[in-house]
């Protein structure tokens, strides 16, 4: 991190850790705090994160803490439960009502083995593999603008295609849906709007800039940070909030995928922190275990700071006007322009970088993120952790 003389400037340098550029006064930085004790490390989240969950999810602090602990258990159980289900595996999700992982199975005989791992079971009509095949066939179709996205919904036992309500009767949309139904079981849901990417023109605050675009930084990795691909292309220069050079886009993909990574140079460094910007405490990043559908997740960005919600779907194809993006995760967390590229985190586990969405943080909406582990694997990067 470059040497800066003011608290605000110092915190802005911490953007390189994968937090979000902030507008307004900055909080004390976690980078300056003492290393966490073993007792602190055992906590599911900081008091600030728990407070954000109570606000956005309508939970008491005790309920938020219990939910994070239950989600951590469910995340740890999922690999063994999936293996126990074998060929009958029909997907899995976190049930907020029971606080347990639920695994779909197509063969009741597999249920006992799954339950032995600690998970609950539900009999479903289709295997995850069959639904994934149907979704892959739909991915090969050209989707019109009125189609927002599509994903496998294991609990519903179908591929859910979301269509803008205003476009539902359009000939192109109806034709797409007819072709989609030939691929396998399809459920159509109407949504109020189609997703858009969340970059923004240059405005004041503590963001990173590339050209005349403002985006948010995701997570620290070895040698830099990850962010959204639609923010800029490979080779583009990146500047901090004060206009000083940070580095360059070393790789960028959009559409198809929506991820990129930027190298850190010119005196900047990286630390495993997602900034709370005064809304919550700075959050340490300790890993990237993937949270299940139904789990809580929080997002931070240079425009709207901290907001929380739940994971709604995985492996969703999002139909942006620039082209489709695959293998996205959908949430009901709000976002606005300039939040692109920023951090999605569940507890202390990195989840992904913000891609786009619809709505805003006044009336609500939905947001998609590109999963972090896919980004790390594509570029051969290592997540910086505490």
* Contact criterion met (CB below 8 Å) for 118 and 138: no
From the list 126, 151, 230, 307, the catalytic residue is: 230
Residues 375 and 203: their CA atoms lie apart, in Å, by 28
Give every CB contact of residue 94 below 8 A, 6+ residues apart in sequence: 70, 71, 74, 100, 101, 102, 291, 292, 293, 294, 295, 311
From the list 95, 206, 257, 258, the catalytic residue is: 258
- Tokens representing residue 1 in the block: 């991190």
Give every CB contact of residue 291 below 8 A, 6+ residues apart in sequence: 71, 75, 94, 297, 311, 346, 347, 349, 351
Residues 259 and 371: their CA atoms lie apart, in Å, by 9
The number of beta carbons lying within 10 Å of the beta carbon of residue 122 is: 18
Residues 319 and 193: their CA atoms lie apart, in Å, by 12
> H or E stretch including 69?
helix 61-85
Q: Active site includes 190?
A: no
Is the omega angle on the peptide bond into residue 146 within 30 degrees of 0, that is, cis?
no
Q: Active site includes 296?
A: no
Q: Using CB atoms within 10 A of its CB, is residue 123 exposed (0-12), middle (13-18) or buried (19+)? A: middle
From the list 216, 220, 340, 343, the catalytic residue is: 340
Q: Active site includes 170?
A: no
Residues with a known catalytic role: 230, 258, 340
């Amino acid at each position: 991190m470059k040497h800066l003389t003011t608290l605000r400037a110092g915190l802005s340098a911490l953007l390189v850790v994968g937090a979000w550029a902030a507008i307004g006064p900055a909080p004390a930085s976690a980078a300056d705090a003492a290393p966490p004790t073993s007792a602190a490390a055992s906590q599911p989240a900081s008091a600030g994160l728990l407070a954000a969950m109570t606000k956005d999810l309508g939970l008491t602090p005790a309920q938020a803490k219990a939910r994070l602990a239950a989600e951590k258990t469910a995340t740890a159980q999922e690999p063994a439960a999936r293996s126990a289900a074998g060929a009958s595996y029909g997907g899995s999700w976190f049930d907020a009502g029971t606080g347990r992982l639920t695994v779909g199975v197509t063969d009741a005989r597999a249920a006992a083995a799954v339950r032995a791992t600690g998970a609950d079971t539900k009999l479903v009509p289709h295997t995850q593999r069959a639904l994934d095949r149907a979704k892959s066939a739909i991915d090969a179709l050209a989707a019109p603008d009125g189609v927002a996205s599509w994903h496998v919904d294991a609990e519903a036992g179908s591929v859910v295609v979301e269509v803008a309500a205003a476009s539902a009767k359009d000939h192109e949309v109806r034709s797409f849906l007819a072709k989609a139904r030939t691929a396998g079981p399809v459920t159509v849901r109407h949504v109020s709007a189609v997703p858009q990417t969340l970059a923004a023109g240059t405005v004041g605050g503590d963001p990173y800039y590339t050209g005349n675009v403002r985006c948010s930084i995701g997570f620290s990795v070895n040698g830099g940070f990850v962010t959204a691909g639609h923010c800029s292309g490979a080779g583009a220069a990146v500047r901090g909030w004060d206009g000083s050079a940070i580095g360059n886009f070393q790789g960028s993909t959009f559409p198809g995928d929506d991820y990129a990574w930027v190298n850190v140079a010119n005196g900047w460094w990286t630390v495993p922190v997602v900034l709370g910007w005064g809304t919550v405490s700075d959050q340490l990043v300790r890993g990237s275990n993937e949270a299940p559908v139904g789990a809580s997740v929080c997002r931070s960005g240079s425009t709207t700071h901290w907001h929380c919600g739940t994971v709604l779907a995985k492996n969703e194809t999002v139909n942006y006007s620039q082209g489709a993006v695959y293998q996205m995760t959908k949430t009901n967390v709000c976002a606005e322009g300039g939040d692109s590229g920023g951090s999605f985190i569940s507890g202390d586990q990195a989840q992904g970088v913000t891609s786009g969405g619809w709505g805003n943080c006044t009336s609500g909406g939905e947001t998609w993120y590109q999963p972090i582990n896919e980004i790390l694997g594509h570029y051969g990067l290592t997540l910086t952790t505490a």
